[in-house]
Amino acid sequence: MIYIDLDEIGGRENLILHLSFPKRSIEYASRILDDLRNIGVESIAFVEAGGRLEPLMLGKGYRGFVIRGRLKGGDAALKILRTDSTIPSLRREAETTLMANHVGVGPKVLGFTDIVLALELIEGMSLDKWLNMLEEDRLSELKMVIRACFEDARRLDMIGLDHGELSDVKKHVIVRPGLKPVIIDFGKASLMRRPSNVTSLFNYFLFGPYSWKIRRMLGIEKPSLDNARGYKIKLSDECFQRLMESLNLLEG
């Protein structure tokens, strides 16, 4: 992996065109480069692939793709709007991520325009992979990570922001070193829906692909659906604590 500064990228057509995807457009790529400069991005990480240099890809979706860059000396995740995106701008995602940031949730927003979004780079392991690799004698680690996930989800519920994709967290929660999970990707987050972040996580942990392991480690034979329903109706602190207690997450 090497970092190439934006001025050099701008002078090499074979590099700058990677910023326009899937349609290769020098006009769009130049606009992307200008916006990256304007928010303080200094360089982009490239790797060699098939004898040529390509941006280090961190993720690719229907709306945008994410590459690794450097902003004011620190590494960052740079999301770029695809040429065929179904949305006109990344601004809404930036604004919902900023809302999450205000309650200590999600990767920090470092800068954005309509077509680029620079975020704190979250490095670690996807939650589903972490759960898969977790040894069953590591109960305290399981509790620490699951509690932290629920607490962040609770913070989002309290501000009325529904993430929208926490029922399947494999691409939306990263466990950092030190057992610090981070909810990422607020592209489909909304204030228009009733928030269901806690209950979505409940469904994933208790009925998802690793529920058998989680239930066994936590000593839960049958999940308390009444407590989950009670929280969904009231979204109160009391109901949240009751739900955590039913999952054996308040002690240890």
Which residues, 6+ apart, have CB-to-CB distance to 137 below 8 Å? none
190 to each of 53, 100, 152, 187, how far by Cα in Å?
Answer: 37, 11, 16, 9
242-252: per-residue pLDDT in tens? 999 999 998 65
- Tracing tokens 């602190």 back to the chain, one arrives at 237
169-195: per-residue pLDDT in tens? 888 999 999 999 999 999 999 999 999
By DSSP bridging, strand 41-49 and strand 2-5 are antiparallel
C-alpha–C-alpha distance, residues 206 and 204, integer Å: 6
Which residues, 6+ apart, have CB-to-CB distance to 26 below 8 Å? 13, 16, 17, 20
203-225: per-residue pLDDT in tens? 999 999 999 999 999 999 888 89
pTM: 0.93
pLDDT band at residue 163 using 50, 70 and 90 as cut-offs: very high
More confident residue, 8 or 250: 8
Q: What is the pLDDT, as a whole number, of residue 72?
A: 85
Return mean pLDDT, the chain.
Answer: 95
